[in-house]
Structure 1
Amino acid sequence: MLKKINNFTLKSFYDYNGPEENFDLKNIIFGYNGKGKTSLSYGIVEEFFKDNNKKNENIRFFNNKYVEENLLIEEEHKTQIKSVVANFGKKSVENRKEIYKLKNDIVDIKNYELEINEIEKKIIDEYEQIFNRKKGNTKILNPHYLNVQELFSKYEKLVDDAKKIENNLEELSKITGDNSLEDLLIEKKEVLFNKILLTKDEDIEKMKKILLNNYDNSHIPSSEVVDWLNEGLKIHKNHKICEFCGNNINLENIKVKIQKYNKDEKQKANQFLISFRNNLENYIEHINNFFLNNYKSYEKLFNFDLSKYFENFNKIVNNLLSFIDLINNKLKEITNIINVDTEELKKDLNNINSNIEDLNNLKNNDINNLEKKINKFNILLKGSIGLELIVNPLIKEKKDLLIEKIKNIEEIKEKNNILNKKIKELENNQSNKIDFAVIINEILNNLDVGINLELTNNNYTLKNTKMDKELEINDISDGEKNLLAILYFYIELFEDINQTEVKKNIELVVIDDPISSVDDLNKMYILSILKEILSYPNYQLFILTHVWDDFCNLSYTFMRDEKVSLFEVKKSNNKSYVQIIKNKKIKLPYKYDFKEIYDFSKENDISNLSKNNYFYYPNVMRRIIEHFLSFKYSEEVPANSKNFNKIKKILLFKSDNPNDKKNLEVLLNVCNIYSHKYQRNPNEILSSAKFLMKVIKNVDENHFNENKQ
C-alpha cells in the first residue's frame, strides 16, 4: 500500500516528501483550485509506478482528461466513443484474437493517397501553365473542378462544344486568347444615345399664341432690364441710399413700378419666349454633341451607314433654328404678328427621340452580335486549351499513372472493406460490449438524461433517445460528459454484470474531481457511486475534490471508519504540501472560508502571494459576504455594486468612519473584478480582507469570534 510520495516535483510541489502522517487504505483529500490538488493526483500515480512490478492494469485513474483519453476515438468518427470490454465472463477470446489478426491485415492507404495527390499536383501545375499561356489577356475563367478526373471530364465536353464550331483540330489548336473583341465591346457600350425631355404641346401652343398676339406699344423695359431691377430691389431692401449712384432713393415707389412691369402681359410673354427659345437651343446643342459632331466615328465603330440619321438631325436643327429666328423677331418687336406652323415643330421634336431610339436599337443589335461572337470565340478558346490538355505527352503520361494508382487503391479499399465487415461481424458477437452498454443505458434512462449508447462498428454511438438522432460527443453538456465518464470508470472496475466483484488485478484507484458541471440529481448519483467505491476493501483509494460540500458529504459517511483518512492540500510560500485533518473534525464550508480569510487578513508581508490567489481570495471573500448577508437579510443579496446600498445598510450601520463607504466600494470591486480577471495588486486584496473582517466584527462580534477559530 502506498504510504507517502517521495521526491515529487510538479508545478507547486518541489522535491516533496509526505505527508508526515501516512496515507491510509482509503483517502479523501480536499484542496481548493490552485493549491496543487491535481498535481498531487499525478504524484500518487507516479509513486505507484516506481515499483517496476506494477502494470497499467493494476491502476485506475480518473481525472478531467478521462473523456479525451479513454472515451474518444479518431477525429473522423465524432459520433462514436470507445467501447469497453468489461470481461463479464471472459467471453469471445477467440473472436478477439481473430479480430486482432484481421486488423493487422488491413492495409494503410495513406501513402497511396499521398502518391495520388503528388501526381495530381503535377498534372494541375502543367495544366495551369497551358491555361495561362493560351488564355492570354482574355477574361475567361478557370472551370471549377474537385479533382483531376473532373477537370479532364469538363474539358472533354468543352472540346466537343468547340468542334461543333471548328471541326479542324489543327486550326482549333492554333487559337489563343485575344481581348480585342472584349475591348471593342467595352468601347461600344460606352456610347450613349440618350433621349431628351421635350417641350410639352401646350407650351408650343402658348408660344404660337404669343407670336400671333398684337401687343400695344406702351413703354416697358426689356426683360433683361426688368430682371436687373428685380435683383436691385433685393439688394436695396431696407436701404435709403442707392448702392449704384449713391443718391437718396424712395424704395416704395421703385417697388410699385417694378411690380407693374412684372405684371405686364407683354413682359410675361417676353419671359416665356426667352425660356422657349433656350429649350430649342438646348435641343440643338444636344443633337450636335451626341450625334452630328461624332457620327463619322460612330459609323466607323459600328460599321453602319448613318447618313440617313445625319440628314434627319440636320433638317431638325435647321427647322429649330428657323423657329429661334421667329422668336427673336418677336422679342425684338413685340407688336409684330408672326404666324407659325406648330404641327411641323411638334413633328420635328418627336423625330429627335424617334431617331435616338432607332440608333439605340442599331447599337444594341450590334452589341448582341458582338457578344455572341465573343462567346463563340471563348468556346473555341476553351476547346483549344482542352485539346492541348488532352494531347500533352507529359500530362498524358501522368494521367495514365494516376489511373493505375487509383485502380490499385480502389482494390485495396475493397479488400479492406471485406476485412472490416468480418471484423464487425466478430465484434457484434462480443456480448460483453453489448452488456456494458445495457448497464450504462439503464442508469442513463433512470436518471432521464436523454442519451443512450448503441454498439456500432465495435464502438458506441451516442444517440438522443427522444429524437432518435446520432450525437457527437461535443453535442452533450459538460455535465453529461462527466456523468458518462464516471459511469464508464465505475462499471469497468467490476468483474461481474451486477457490480459486486471488483477486478482482482486492481490495486490502486485515484479519482480527481469526479463531480463537475452536473445538476443536483446527477450530483447525488455520482456521490452515491463514490461512496460505493469507498466501501470496497480490496484496493487503495484516493478521492480528491476542490468542492468542500462534496468533501464533507463523503467524509461524514466514513468518518468512523479507521481505514479512511482525511487530508487537505495546502500551499505556503508558493509550495504545496499535504496535511492530515486530525480527529476528522470537518468545518462547514462557510466556517472554513471565514477562517482562511481571517488568517490571510493577519498577514503583513504578501510579496510571495501566488498568482492563483489573485483569483482565489477574492472569490472566498465574495462567498463570505453573501453568506453573512443571508443571516441578516430576508432575501438573497449578491455581492456586487448594484446592491451597494443594501450591503452598506447591513455592514456599515455601526460605522462612523467616513472612509468606510469608499473601502466598501473597493471590497466589492475586488470581489467581482479580481475573482474573474487577473490583477497584480495583492495589497488591495489584503486591505479588502482586513476591512471585511473589521466590519463583520463590528456588526456581529459573537459571529466573528465563533467563526475565526
Structure 2
Amino acid sequence: LKKKQEYQFEIVSIDKKLNRLELYAKHLVGKNLEQNPKINELKYQIPELDHMTSISQKAIEGNEIKIKEWNEIDSDYSNFKDIVNQELDRLGLEFRLELLNNDLGYKIKHINSKIKLKARDLSEGERRLLSFLYFYYNLFEKVNKEEQKIDSSIDTIIIDDPITSFDADNRFFLIERINHFINNISQKNVQIFLLTHSSFDFHSFAYNYNSSKKTNWKINKDISGKSQIEKVKATELKNYSDYYRNTFSELADFSLKSKTDVNKCTNYTKFGNQMRFVLESNARTNYDIENVTSKSLHSLTQYYSIPDGLIEEFKNAINLINSLSHGRSYIDDFLNGMTAKQLQIKIRIILQVLYLKDSYHVQIMTNYKLNKTTVGNWNIIKLSNK
C-alpha cells in the first residue's frame, strides 16, 4: 500500500512537469512564429480574406434571388400569382401566394413572416375564394396587367352557385368579378349559364347588362313536387328582390290554388315553414317581436290590429305553422290527417292579417297576385276599403 502511494505521488509529479514542458513548448513555438515574416504577413491578410468571403457570400445570395426572379418571369405560374396577390391585397386578406422552389405550384405565406401558415389553416371561404380565382383566370389564354384574352376554345361556361354562406365576406367582390367577366366577353361568341339559390345574387348577376342579351329563369316545384323552369318576366326584375320577397310570392301562389289543384300538392307541408319565415321576418323587422307563437298573441293582436273575429283563427294558424316548422311527427294525428287544403286555409288567414295591416306591402311583395279582390274571395273576414 505504501509503495502504491509512492507511485501515485510520482505520477502526479510527472504530470506537473509535462504540463510545464507543454507550456514552455508553446511559448517557444509562439516566439518562433513571431519572428517568421511569412506568418506576420498572413496574420494581416486574414481579416481582409474574411471580408472578401462575406462580400462573395452576399453576391451569391443576390444572384440566387435574381435567378429566381428571372425564372418567375418565364414561369406560367407567375402571372397568376401576381394577379391573385393583388386581389388578396385589395380584399385585405392576410395571406399571399408564393411560387414553390420548382416553380410548378404555389404555397401559402402569411404577410407576417413570423406566422407560419398552411393551406389547411385557411377558412372555408378563403379556400373557396382561391378556387374561384383559379377557375376564373383559367378561362383566359393570356392574363397580365395589359391584356386578358379569353381562351378561344371556350364557347360555353357554366357557373353553379359560385357564392355560398362561406363567401359572405367576399360576396360583393365575387359578384363584381363575375359581372366584369360577363361585360368583357359580351362581344364574343360565348354563352354563360349562372345558377344560384340566392335571390340576392340572382338579381345582382349581370346587373345593368344589356337586357336584350340576357334571360332570367327560375326553377320551381309543381304541385306534384317536380321541378319546372319558368321564364322570369321583366316586371319581376324591375324591383330588387330578396329571399323574403320570393318566399312571399311562393306563398301567394299556394294560397291562390284552386281546391282541385291544391289537393294535388304532395310537398305542401313546406309552406308551413315558409309562412313562419315570412311572418317572423315581418314581425321582427317592424315590431321587434322575436318569436311568433301563441304566447305572443297579445302583442301580435295589438300590432297587427287583428279583428276580434279573426283572433282565434289566427292563433290556430300560427300554432299549426310552428308545429310544421319543427317537423312532422308520425304519432301526431292532427298533423298526419292534415290536408293541403286545410294548410292553405291557415296560410290564407295569416296572409289576410298581413294584408289588413299593410295591403300595399303584400301587393308589392307578391307582384300584385294578392289584392283586394283575390284576398276578398277567401271569405274569411270582410275587408276594408284597402
Measured against the shorter chain, the TM-score band is: 0.5 to 0.7
Distance 1:694 1:584 in 2: 24
Distance 1:435 1:607 in 2: 58
- Structure 1 residues 464 and 692: CA distance shift in structure 2, 3 A: farther
Q: For residue 65 of structure 2, what is the aligned residue in structure 1?
A: none
Distance 2:109 2:295 in 1: 44
Aligned mate of 1:567, from 206, 217, 231? 217
- Structure 1 residues 526 and 685: CA distance shift in structure 2, 3 A: farther
Aligned mate of 1:653, from 302, 306, 309? 306
Distance 1:682 1:432 in 2: 63
- Structure 1 residues 662 and 636: CA distance shift in structure 2, 3 A: closer
**Structure 1 residue 444: deviation in Å?**
1.2
> Helix, strand or coil: the match of 1:461?
strand
> Helix, strand or coil: the match of 2:303?
helix
Query: Equivalences for 1:327-476 in 2 at 5 Å?
Result: 431-456=75-100, 458-466=104-112, 468-473=115-120, 475-476=121-122
Q: For residue 126 of structure 2, what is the aligned residue in structure 1?
A: 480
Q: For residue 530 of structure 1, what is the aligned residue in structure 2?
A: 178
Q: For residue 353 of structure 2, what is the aligned residue in structure 1?
A: 695
**Structure 1 residue 525: deviation in Å?**
0.5
Measured on the aligned residues, the alpha-carbon RMSD in Å equals: 3.5
Q: For residue 179 of structure 1, what is the aligned residue in structure 2?
A: none
Q: 1:531, 1:554 within 8 Å by CA — same for their partners in 2? A: yes
Distance 1:563 1:620 in 2: 34
**Structure 1 residue 555: deviation in Å?**
4.9
**Structure 1 residue 528: deviation in Å?**
0.4
Distance 2:323 2:275 in 1: 11
Q: For residue 247 of structure 2, what is the aligned residue in structure 1?
A: 593
- Structure 1 residues 647 and 461: CA distance shift in structure 2, 3 A: farther
Aligned mate of 1:497, from 130, 140, 144? 144
**Structure 1 residue 543: deviation in Å?**
0.9
In the alignment, structure 1 residue 557 sits paired with structure 2 residue 208: yes
Q: For residue 319 of structure 2, what is the aligned residue in structure 1?
A: 665
Q: 2:179, 2:206 within 8 Å by CA — same for their partners in 1? A: no
**Structure 1 residue 513: deviation in Å?**
0.8
Q: 1:482, 1:516 within 8 Å by CA — same for their partners in 2? A: no
Query: Aligned pair count?
Result: 275
**Structure 1 residue 446: deviation in Å?**
1.7
Query: Which deviations, in whole Å up to 9, do the C-alpha atoms of 1:324-352 show, x marking residues without a partner?
Result: xxxxxxxxxxxxxxxxxxxxxxxxxxxxx
> Helix, strand or coil: the match of 2:312?
coil
- 1:621 is aligned with what amino acid? M
**Structure 1 residue 546: deviation in Å?**
1.1
Distance 1:545 1:505 in 2: 25
Query: Equivalences for 1:539-558 in 2 at 5 Å?
Result: 539-558=190-209
Distance 2:107 2:125 in 1: 18
**Structure 1 residue 597: deviation in Å?**
0.2
- 2:118 is aligned with what amino acid? L
> Helix, strand or coil: the match of 2:250?
helix
- Structure 1 residues 674 and 648: CA distance shift in structure 2, 3 A: farther
Query: Which deviations, in whole Å up to 9, do the C-alpha atoms of 1:221-276 show, x marking residues without a partner?
Result: xxxxxxxxxxxxxxxxxxxxxxxxxxxxxxxxxxxxxxxxxxxxxxxxxxxxxxxx
Q: 1:570, 1:576 within 8 Å by CA — same for their partners in 2? A: yes
- 1:704 is aligned with what amino acid? V
Query: Larger relative CO (CA 8 A, sep 6+): 1 or 2?
Result: 1
- Structure 1 residues 455 and 645: CA distance shift in structure 2, 3 A: farther
Q: 1:618, 1:670 within 8 Å by CA — same for their partners in 2? A: yes
**Structure 1 residue 593: deviation in Å?**
2.5
Distance 2:312 2:292 in 1: 21
Query: Which deviations, in whole Å up to 9, do the C-alpha atoms of 1:465-508 show, x marking residues without a partner?
Result: 445323244x3322222222221111222222235221211111
Distance 1:703 1:563 in 2: 32
**Structure 1 residue 703: deviation in Å?**
3.4
> Helix, strand or coil: the match of 2:194?
strand
- 1:438 is aligned with what amino acid? D
In the alignment, structure 1 residue 517 sits paired with structure 2 residue 162: no
Distance 1:658 1:706 in 2: 28
- 2:88 is aligned with what amino acid? L
Q: For residue 63 of structure 2, what is the aligned residue in structure 1?
A: none
Distance 2:344 2:181 in 1: 41
Query: Equivalences for 1:236-385 in 2 at 5 Å?
Result: none
Q: 1:609, 1:682 within 8 Å by CA — same for their partners in 2? A: no
Distance 1:477 1:564 in 2: 34
**Structure 1 residue 661: deviation in Å?**
2.2
Aligned mate of 1:581, from 224, 232, 239? 232
Q: 2:77, 2:99 within 8 Å by CA — same for their partners in 1? A: yes
Give ranges in structure 2 of 5+ residues lacking alignment: 1-70, 329-334, 369-386
Q: 1:569, 1:578 within 8 Å by CA — same for their partners in 2? A: yes
> Helix, strand or coil: the match of 2:157?
strand
Q: 1:478, 1:517 within 8 Å by CA — same for their partners in 2? A: no
Distance 1:653 1:594 in 2: 20
Give ranges in structure 1 of 5+ residues lacking alignment: 1-426
Distance 2:116 2:216 in 1: 45
Q: TM-score, normalised by structure 1?
A: 0.35
- Structure 1 residues 534 and 626: CA distance shift in structure 2, 3 A: farther
Distance 1:453 1:631 in 2: 43
**Structure 1 residue 557: deviation in Å?**
1.8
Q: 1:670, 1:685 within 8 Å by CA — same for their partners in 2? A: no
Q: 1:667, 1:692 within 8 Å by CA — same for their partners in 2? A: no
Q: 2:221, 2:227 within 8 Å by CA — same for their partners in 1? A: yes
- Structure 1 residues 462 and 591: CA distance shift in structure 2, 3 A: same
- Structure 1 residues 440 and 636: CA distance shift in structure 2, 3 A: farther
- Structure 1 residues 552 and 668: CA distance shift in structure 2, 3 A: same
Q: 2:219, 2:230 within 8 Å by CA — same for their partners in 1? A: yes
Distance 1:640 1:483 in 2: 40
Distance 1:626 1:581 in 2: 27
Q: 1:570, 1:577 within 8 Å by CA — same for their partners in 2? A: yes
